[in-house]
């Protein structure tokens, strides 16, 4: 393993670091959307703390997994075969995480479409259960995204120090963006449905990869970016229309 001073003088190491940071940030978008949607269901006083806990868990999880790089690499090796198809432990983790994400996104979409039933619990008890449930669900997804992220990083560089730096920088970016993203989603209800649709697609992608069907993530993120662009144009059109209506109303009053 090369020392840090040697890596600092290696242009290839810097290129690998920048590439890995970008990749970690992009992969972290999925996790960040999930954390933002869950935290927005909590009272405002609880949201920032829940976001910090969720992102902190992601950092701890990834740093801990990086200390067992050799073991993580072996997760991609076939462990058993079902109906002639080999499965690795990584496949099982992706299948479980993808199925959970599909179930969670579908449930959240249903809750946004249908009226929620009145909870018989007291408000204080409901908040306590919701906070614990949110943290538990964030932890479950952190495990899936962390394993996928570390295995991808192993395929890009053999320098563990570069992986550590990339993970820390990416998680710091998530921590910085969590608050603004959460507030943006809260101010724009239509974004919630779009974000849940993203999570549904990501969940299906994880399930497909768990069964051995590789789905290029570039296509997924390009589709997500295009959908976000279209929704941004719709938001702009609605804002312009609202201003015109307000201006017409003010002229009528005068």
pLDDT, tens digit, for every residue of 107-161? 877 877 775 444 444 444 444 456 778 888 888 887 777 777 777 677 666 677 7
* Residue 110: burial class (beta carbons within 10 Å; 0-12, 13-18, 19+): exposed
User: What would the pLDDT profile of 174-214 be if each residue is shown by its tens digit?
Assistant: 888 888 888 887 777 777 778 788 888 888 888 888 888 87
Answer whether 93's CB lies under 8 Å from 144's CB: yes
Nearest alpha carbon to residue 90 among 154, 148, 32: 148
Structure-derived torsion over alpha carbons of residues 88, 93, 96, 100, reported in degrees to the nearest 10: -150
- What pLDDT sits at residue 11? 64
- What pLDDT sits at residue 157? 66
Average pLDDT over residues 18-45: 78
For residues 200 and 253, which has the higher predicted lDDT (pLDDT)? 200
- What pLDDT sits at residue 200? 84
Answer whether 4's CB lies under 8 Å from 161's CB: yes
H-helix or E-strand spanning residue 135: helix 123-156
- What pLDDT sits at residue 13? 66
* Residue 32: burial class (beta carbons within 10 Å; 0-12, 13-18, 19+): buried
For residues 240 and 125, which has the higher predicted lDDT (pLDDT)? 240
3 state SS of 103: helix
Residue 213: CB partners within 8 Å, gap ≥ 6?
none
Within a 10 A sphere around the Cβ of 38, how many other Cβ atoms?
A: 24
* Predicted TM-score of the model (pTM): 0.67
Which of 48-57, 125-134, 156-165, 216-225 is modeled with the greatest confidence?
A: 48-57
Query: In degrees, to the nearest 5, what angle opens at C-alpha 14 toward C-alphas 3 and 218?
Result: 130
User: What would the pLDDT profile of 60-89 be if each residue is shown by its tens digit?
Assistant: 887 887 777 667 767 777 777 877 778 888
H-helix or E-strand spanning residue 78: strand 78-82
Strand partners, 88: 78
- What pLDDT sits at residue 156? 67
Token pair in block for residue 64: 């801990």
* Domain locations in the chain as residue ranges: 4-215, 217-254
The tokens 């933002």 sit on which residue?
36
């Amino acid at each position: 393993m090369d020392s840090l001073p040697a890596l600092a003088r290696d242009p290839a190491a810097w290129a690998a670091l920048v590439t890995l940071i970008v990749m970690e940030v992009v992969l972290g978008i999925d996790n960040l959307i999930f954390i933002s949607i869950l935290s927005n269901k909590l009272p405002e006083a609880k949201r920032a703390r829940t976001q910090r806990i969720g992102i902190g868990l992601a950092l701890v999880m990834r740093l801990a997994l990086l200390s067992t790089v050799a073991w993580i690499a072996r997760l991609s090796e076939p462990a058993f075969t079902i109906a002639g198809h080999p499965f690795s432990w990584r496949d099982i983790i992706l299948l479980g995480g993808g199925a959970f994400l599909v179930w969670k996104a579908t449930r959240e979409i249903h809750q946004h479409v249908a009226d929620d039933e009145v909870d018989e619990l007291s408000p204080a008890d409901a908040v306590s259960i919701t906070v614990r449930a949110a943290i538990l669900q964030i932890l479950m997804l952190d495990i899936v995204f962390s394993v996928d992220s570390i295995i991808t990083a192993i395929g890009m560089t053999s320098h563990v120090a570069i992986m550590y730096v990339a993970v820390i920088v990416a998680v710091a970016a998530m921590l910085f963006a969590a608050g603004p993203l959460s507030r943006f989603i809260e101010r724009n209800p239509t974004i919630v449905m779009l974000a849940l649709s993203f999570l549904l697609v990501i969940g299906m992608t994880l399930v497909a990869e768990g069964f051995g069907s590789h789905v290029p993530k570039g296509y997924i993120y390009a589709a997500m970016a295009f959908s976000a662009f279209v929704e941004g144009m719709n938001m702009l059109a609605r804002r312009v229309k609202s201003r015109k209506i307000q201006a017409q109303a003010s002229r009528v009053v005068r």
